[in-house]
Amino acid sequence: MLYLDWAATTPPYEEVVTAVAEAMRSHYGNPSSIHGLGIEAERLLGRAKDVMAAALGVDGRELIVTSGGTESNNLAIKGAAWANQSRGRHLITTQIEHPSVLEPLRQLEESGFEVTRLPVDAQGLVSVDALAAALRPDTVLVSVMHVNNEVGSVQPLAAIGRLLADKPTVLFHVDAIQSIGKLPLGLRELGVDLCSVSAHKFRGPKGVGLLYRREGVRLVPQLAGGGQEQGVRSGTENVPLVVGMAKALRLAMQGRESRTEAAYRLRRRLAAGIAAIPGLAVSGPDQEDCHAPHIVHFTYPGMKAEVVVHALEQHGMYISTKSACASGEDQPSAVLLAMGYSGAQAASGLRVSFPAELPEAEADRFLAALAQVAEQLAPARREQHGRRRR
């Protein structure tokens, strides 16, 4: 088996599995309880937050534990919008955000907020000038993802941070779910106010994540209850999963630079090999510094992406189409459509995502299988293309 869908989820480190199991066995107290087991669990939770804060370069008190990236994005966007509605009800994002950003914004529109969705260019990049032009006196939030989960485009966060630096009434939210542990992300240096993190994207457990909230930023809680997590996110913290997330984040940050370099080398090898296969076209940014190291996206116009995915599965190889949250939908990729691709191209998008440790021989084995699949499917593709032309 060759698993090349690491942007959807990652296998946990063995150390993470061990840490979660040990915490479940030995630290099962409720961290809100006042007895010894509860106090012990609370201390373990605090130590885990300190580890993650050190890895992210922030203060542990600025971290809110959530159930994952979707909740972090919802809490950041809805919480900030409702907390600041007295100052304005205008929000800005891009057209290629993850559904866990776009859907909360759509819900806020139904409640009377206004949302500007900035277009992107053919590389999948947003224009900072367009963002500057979209800002209004009543703008209270800008939400831009760091790395696009489909095509791997890296948004110009530093330039956006500089733009917003002298606009203290505008909060800056970053969905960093695809970039943590892969690209540098200085939250303080970039002027980020809110940042979403999901553990299972960097070899941690599923069902747990973080929201970084800069000190002083107000959020309206989205869950009513016991007031855990500084009153922002009610619900008993899942201490074992938080411990596993802390372990995974520490491991992901260790040696990140060398792993990133290795991943970029692999990406160049895969992209060149895919581009050499007739009928396939690599998509995303041309410049490497605008592209994530762990994603290669390509299209096979005239052939449904799902057909290619299942054909490769027969070879024991697993890739994906679009976001895992939307892969079951029989619709062209909204991200590719926003980038200017045709409907046929947007329906044929495929994503390869991989670890930096992938051996070159395995990358070459995948390319050989992909070339074989493309050759086998070529007659059907030509037939479908011909029917459309008639």
Q: Decide if 222 contacts 211 (C-beta within 8 A).
A: no
Is the model's pTM score more than 0.85?
Answer: yes
∠ CA 218-224-225, nearest 5°, is 115
Task: Determine the Cα–Cα distance for residues 309 and 67; give it in Å rounded to an integer.
Answer: 29
| 102, 73: one domain | yes
| 204, 277: one domain | no
Q: Which domain holds residue 277?
A: 2-7+256-377
> Residue 338: what residue type?
A
Counting the structural domains of the chain, the total is: 2
Q: Decide if 274 contacts 367 (C-beta within 8 A).
A: yes
Burial label for 227, CB within 10 Å (0-12, 13-18, 19+), is middle
| 262, 302: one domain | yes
The CATH number for 216's domain is: 3.40.640.10
Task: Determine the Cα–Cα distance for residues 265 and 75; give it in Å rounded to an integer.
Answer: 37
Q: Decide if 145 contacts 98 (C-beta within 8 A).
A: yes
Is 384 part of a structural domain of the chain? no
| 288, 223: one domain | no
For residue 167, give the DSSP letter: -
For residue 12, give the DSSP letter: P
What are the average pLDDT values for consecutive 10-residue runs of the chain, which has 390 residues? 98 98 95 93 96 97 98 98 98 98 98 98 97 98 98 98 96 98 96 98 98 98 94 95 98 95 98 97 94 97 93 97 60 95 95 98 98 87 53
∠ CA 106-111-116, nearest 5°, is 45
What's the confidence (pLDDT) of residue 390?
Answer: 46
| 242, 349: one domain | no
For residue 201, give the DSSP letter: G
Is 385 part of a structural domain of the chain? no
**295-299 and 349-353 beta bridge pairing:** antiparallel
Is 372 part of a structural domain of the chain? yes
Is 387 part of a structural domain of the chain? no
| 139, 228: one domain | yes
Is 186 part of a structural domain of the chain? yes
Domain boundary among 253, 278, 293: 253
**What is the four-CA torsion angle of 374, 379, 381, 384, rounded to 10 degrees?**
-170
Q: Which of 159, 325, 337, 371 is catalytic?
A: 325
The CATH number for 315's domain is: 3.90.1150.10
Closest Cα partner for 52 from 237, 227, 251, 188? Answer: 251
| 138, 48: one domain | yes
What's the confidence (pLDDT) of residue 48?
Answer: 97
Task: Determine the Cα–Cα distance for residues 308 and 380; give it in Å rounded to an integer.
Answer: 12
Is 389 part of a structural domain of the chain? no
Domain boundary among 237, 253, 269: 253
| 136, 83: one domain | yes
Asked if 325 is an active-site residue, the reply is: yes
For residue 122, give the DSSP letter: T
What is the spatial order of strands in the sheet that 139-145 belongs to? 63-66, 209-213, 194-198, 171-175, 139-145, 90-94, 114-118
Query: CA torsion sign, 199 to 205 to 209 to 210?
Result: negative
Burial label for 129, CB within 10 Å (0-12, 13-18, 19+), is exposed
Query: Alpha carbon of 125 to those of 339, 358, 387: distances in Å?
Result: 9, 28, 34
Is 383 part of a structural domain of the chain? no
310 Cβ contact partners less than 8 Å away, ≥ 6 residues apart: none
| 219, 357: one domain | no
Neighbours of 305 (CB within 10 A): 23
Is 212 part of a structural domain of the chain? yes
| 241, 315: one domain | no
339 Cβ contact partners less than 8 Å away, ≥ 6 residues apart: 96, 120, 121, 122, 123, 124, 151, 283
H helix runs in 135-255, sequence order = 157-164, 187-190, 239-253
Instruction: Give φ, ψ of 64 to 5 degrees.
Output: -115, 125
| 271, 218: one domain | no
Half-sphere exposure of 339 (CA within 13 A, CB side): 24
Domain boundary among 211, 230, 253: 253
| 111, 144: one domain | yes
